Structure 1
Amino acid sequence: MHRRSLLSLAAAGGAAALLPAGARAQAQPAWPTQPVRLVVPFAAGGPTDVPARLFADELSKVLPQRVVVENRTGAGVVVGTEAVAKAPKDGHTLLYNTIAHSVLRALFPRLPFDPITDFQPVALLGIIPMVLLVNKDLPAQTLQELVALYRANPGRYDYGSSGIGGAVHLATELLLARAGGLQVNHVPYRGSAAGMPDLLSGRLSMFIDVAAGGLPYHQRGEARALGISADRRLPQAPDIPTFAEAGITGAESYTWHMVLAPAGTPAPVVQAINAAFNQAAAQEHVRRRLTDLTMTVRSDTTPETATRWLMDEIEKWEGTIRQAGIRVE
């Protein structure tokens, strides 16, 4: 069956597809009837924008309307997220967001929208673990040795992050807390790339980064990877243990990619969008490209499972933010 036919079948639902032609026309949601705006609240060319454009290109091949990525940056992810919250509830303006969506309430107490009640999660598309890197001259060959070093020298060492309240910062604070409340000084940068030179030079002792960005430093021998934040080892780096294997449980953390619609979007339209993105994620060339970016691709999530994932992430990260006393100035 042609992919367009498969997508139509998924969007309409198996039972609806078996109805007589006239009844089926009424059962199928009228989506999309115009170009779809996929709002990415991050800069073009970045690690969130690239997968979003891959999905947009794939969907544009099989849907009757184009899917166009629109980068709306500002105030973290607030500007782009607000634009979707206030968009028409018809499925033609969607949000492509990450873990950033789950920390908005804790970091920005005066938001012009509610990240929970103003949005309907549609599909969780993939999760990306992080890798813990240390300076190659640091006297710690394992994660347990790093913990012992920090415990014996509270406040002496620094770690870097891609910015206050970001996924890297939160993952590091969660790890330090699970390791017994280690005292390591936080040095934020404007992105991971800006902080890596200080890790390589020894100004920083540790930097946790998304796996796609951090692994090359380990593979080139420029830094040493001591752990992966996932529940299993990465195929791209089978030599690096998980945090749990290294002796620290409960520190799993991911950045993730999710599509959300404005709350109040009709349920049949939400289901059609979910089916479309799941179909795109199931394409072999899409999965291969995203796997190269160290993403574990999900092509079987529902709006309900996406909602549960988001609520679990909100609970985890809001607790981490409170415990660590993280504030955005």
Structure 2
Amino acid sequence: MFKLHRRALARTALAAALCSTALLAQAQAPAAWPSKPVTLTVGFAAGGSADILARAISQKLTGALGQPVVVDNKPGAGGTIAAAAVASATPDGHTLLLVTSGHAGSGALYPTLRYDPIKAFTPVIKLAATPVVVVAPAAQPWKSLSELLDAARKAPGTLNYAAGGGGATTTALAAEFLKKDTGTDMVQVPYRGSGPALTALLSGEVQVGFEIPSSALPHIQSGKLRALAVTTRTRSTALPDVPTVIEQGIRDFEVIGWFGVLAPAGTPAAVVERLNRELNAALQQPELRERLSGLGLESGGGTPAEFQKLIGSDTQRYGEAIRRMGIKVE
């Protein structure tokens, strides 16, 4: 009888251990993810560079995941409205955030944010890299960046410019860095994204624009906008005839923008790994690479850890520059 009792206890302990293992596995990775449509939140208005990229990526993910990937535009405050919404979302992999490199400067620009730009998110992947292009309507007389800067010096505070979504965006920071390095005074007019900013630029509401090539390129090609400079050290493959800021006499000037995907902190590692794998595969497809190249974007990729390192280094760089230059969001 003693032997039977001991065997029964052993069976009970084994069953309990198996049950605990199953419960732990369920907690670590949700079954059958995704189990419903996935929302890719974008902090900028429809028609801009972030929106264009989000829609291209969502199409690829929809096919790979077997569930619709829906783009949800929540423009305003340099992308921080969208980021706050995703930061507070359930971390189950069904709500994602497409960010620009301006995300790295958001903590310094917006000290009262309701979330931590680093701790509130789990990096998934860097999607693409891009220069900023300085543009002006064809009706303006400037044929080069030097001519624009001369005009700004002669009439301080009279030239208005648009910089994408404004605030915590790479385009806005590029404008601030350029003004600081050249001692010029131009006034930013805030818009909720590249789409509205370009509309204002084309209508003559503002005289200068700081944009991403993916948004401005069609208008440059049509002759409605004139590209004056790009902010990378080397010329853009999409705009090979446009000189860099450095070529036009501003030493060591470089601003590189990037786009990426974040998930809320606490998203299961298995989900992040699946998303990273599917997006890396999509970015290797010739069709998507060609489309990104045509928009002036360099295809990205890599691991979540590599993207996390990039975010951390740019957060330090942008934060130090914003505080040193005293940049404030009005």
TM-score by length of 1: 0.76
- Structure 1 unaligned segments of length 5 or more: list them: 1-25
Cα gap change, 1:72 to 1:160, in 2 (>3 Å): closer
Cα gap change, 1:96 to 1:199, in 2 (>3 Å): closer
Letter in 2 for 1:159: Y
Match of 1:264 in 2: 266
Match of 1:173 in 2: 176
Looking at structure 2, the residues matched to 216 and 45 of structure 1 have their Cα atoms a distance apart, in angstroms, of 12
Looking at structure 1, the residues matched to 218 and 275 of structure 2 have their Cα atoms a distance apart, in angstroms, of 35
> For 1:128, which of 127, 130, 133 is the aligned residue?
130
Check if 1:95 corresponds to 2:86: no
Check if 1:307 corresponds to 2:327: no
Cα gap change, 1:39 to 1:189, in 2 (>3 Å): closer
Counterparts of 1:118-197 in structure 2 under 5 Å? 118-136=120-138, 140-165=142-167, 166-179=169-182, 181-192=183-194, 194=196
Question: Shift of the alpha carbon at 1:298?
Answer: 1.0
Q: Does the residue aligned with 1:259 lie in a helix, a strand or coil?
A: strand
Deviates more, 1:139-148 or 1:123-132: 139-148
Match of 2:42 in 1: 41
Number of aligned residue pairs: 300
Deviates more, 1:255-264 or 1:281-290: 255-264
Provide Cα deviations, 1:152-174, integer angstroms capped at 9, x if missing partner.
55445433334541443222111
Q: Is the 8 A contact 1:171 1:251 kept in 2?
A: no
TM-score by length of 2: 0.76
Letter in 1 for 2:317: K
Q: Does the residue aligned with 1:48 lie in a helix, a strand or coil?
A: helix
Match of 1:246 in 2: 248
Question: Shift of the alpha carbon at 1:326?
Answer: 3.8
Q: Is the 8 A contact 1:164 1:326 kept in 2?
A: no
Looking at structure 2, the residues matched to 197 and 39 of structure 1 have their Cα atoms a distance apart, in angstroms, of 25
Q: Is the 8 A contact 2:129 2:298 kept in 1?
A: yes
Looking at structure 2, the residues matched to 45 and 147 of structure 1 have their Cα atoms a distance apart, in angstroms, of 29
Provide Cα deviations, 1:40-68, integer angstroms capped at 9, x if missing partner.
134455432332232222123233x4142
Provide Cα deviations, 1:177-232, integer angstroms capped at 9, x if missing partner.
233x3222333345455555765677754322221333344434444322112232
Question: Shift of the alpha carbon at 1:123?
Answer: 0.3
Looking at structure 1, the residues matched to 274 and 201 of structure 2 have their Cα atoms a distance apart, in angstroms, of 46
Q: Does the residue aligned with 1:245 lie in a helix, a strand or coil?
A: helix
Question: Shift of the alpha carbon at 1:276?
Answer: 1.4
Looking at structure 2, the residues matched to 213 and 75 of structure 1 have their Cα atoms a distance apart, in angstroms, of 18
Looking at structure 2, the residues matched to 309 and 182 of structure 1 have their Cα atoms a distance apart, in angstroms, of 30
Identity %: 36
- Structure 2 unaligned segments of length 5 or more: list them: 1-24
Higher alpha-carbon Rg: 2
Match of 1:211 in 2: 213
Question: Shift of the alpha carbon at 1:176?
Answer: 1.8
